[in-house]
Amino acid sequence: MLSTHPATGLRKLATQLLNAIFLLTTAFMLLKSFGVIANCSSPIVVVLSESMKPAMLRGDLIVLWNRGSGINIGDIVVYHVEGRDIPIVHRVIRRFGGGADPLRFLTNGDNNIADDTELYAPGQEFLSRGDVAGSVIGCIPYVGYITIAFNDFPWLKTLMVGLVGLSALIQRG
């Protein structure tokens, strides 16, 4: 007859916990490594509005690359505006300067009538290069709806974390 020692159960629990921590740490390191390679602090962004229809829809996951001064008219960029927490995904419709003059941009959502000057910080007429987080190099449709659901329904995030934790505790192996 085999008997189980209490330390065996603790060892299994510790192993499962360490495996979960390892998985999360690896995912975080991969995301940060991609950010370093792409020269972008947030290389993955979710489209939150319909302003870029039909090119991009709400819930699309986009991948960014920071091209430096290689941003041209027609490129889709993600930019941050002082005083706003949410990044904006819009297309460059005008480009000014370059060389000795500072590079500046004017953007517009494909589904919007007017340009983005109303979205910029008060007194700001154009975006500077420092406002642009990166250019869109890829899009995965609908994958970002998970993030949108977690933000719209905070209880869903709590439920998912609870279920993952519960499954890690009761999993045998």
51 is catalytic: yes
In sequence order, which ranges of 6-153 are alpha helices (DSSP H)? 6-38, 145-152
**Nearest to residue 88, comparing CAs of 61, 109, 69, 105?**
109
> Is residue 124 packed enough to be buried (19+ CB in 10 Å), middle (13-18) or exposed (0-12)?
middle
Please pick, among 51, 60, 131, 135, the residue that the annotation labels catalytic. Answer: 51
Please pick, among 60, 116, 131, 135, the residue that the annotation labels catalytic. Answer: 116
116 is catalytic: yes
Amino acid at 110: D
Return the DSSP state at 77: E
**Nearest to residue 118, comparing CAs of 167, 84, 67?**
84
Please pick, among 60, 90, 131, 135, the residue that the annotation labels catalytic. Answer: 90
33 is catalytic: no
Catalytic residue numbers, as ranges: 51, 90, 116
